[in-house]
Amino acid sequence: MRAKRWQIHLLVLVAYTLFALALTWPLVVHFGSHVPGDGADDPPLTWNLWWVQYALLHLGENPFDGSYMFYPLGINLAFYTLTVLNGLLSIPLQATVGLIPASNLLLLSSFVLSGYGAFLLASYCLSRAPEPFQPPPSPLVRQRSKVNGAGDASKHVRIEPSIPQAHPVWTNPLLGPHPDGPDPGQKPSQPTTGGRLFRREPP
């Protein structure tokens, strides 16, 4: 019997949750008392969560105005990595489970939701692939060379890197096809996850 769509998504979320717990082990057995790290960035990042909620809810002031540091002068935290968004997300968590568990929950959720987002993107792209999907040889960087004509290959080899974090092929399917279509002077290259890459051939 074919699994329902929501069951597949639930299974993916559970799988990524287990992967996140395995990746951060033994954090799960010290969830309420420890944060992962080497002691360099993790204490300031945890302090960020506390400071954002304390400045907003208890002091009623801008969290970028660090009045509790370098007292009585204070300090401007505009150029400090304050992670305000994480601080805002942690406010209800701090009120219910405390600061340390809130920090750990945000960390684990970032792993789980990042993996789930990659799953959704891959599902979207594969469902709209114009022809059978051919995965690149590397999950991070794919390089393809082409020799144009005969002669010394070193003079004609062209390397085309494709990095998932930066290449527009990952975002083009979300924007839909261009109203004017591809440039007539371009030829489609090998299909990739997001559809096709186009490159202009030399005359």
pLDDT at position 57 is 94
Contact 114, 23 (CB under 8 A): no
pLDDT at position 74 is 87
Q: What is the C-alpha separation between 157 and 146, in angstroms, rounded?
A: 5
The domain containing residue 56 runs over which residues? Answer: 5-127
Domain total for the chain? 2
Q: What is the pLDDT along the chain (203 residues), one digit of tens a residue?
A: 466 888 999 999 999 999 999 999 999 999 988 988 888 888 899 999 999 999 999 999 999 998 888 888 888 998 999 999 999 999 999 999 999 999 999 999 999 999 999 999 999 888 886 666 565 555 444 444 444 444 444 443 333 333 343 444 344 444 455 444 555 555 544 444 444 444 444 55
The residue from 98, 127, 156 where one domain ends is: 127
The residue from 67, 101, 127 where one domain ends is: 127
The residue from 127, 155, 185 where one domain ends is: 127
pLDDT at position 192 is 43
- Whether 135 is in a domain gets the answer no
Q: What is the C-alpha separation between 168 and 196, in angstroms, rounded?
A: 11
The dihedral over CA atoms of 160, 161, 165, 166, expressed in degrees to the nearest 10, equals: -50
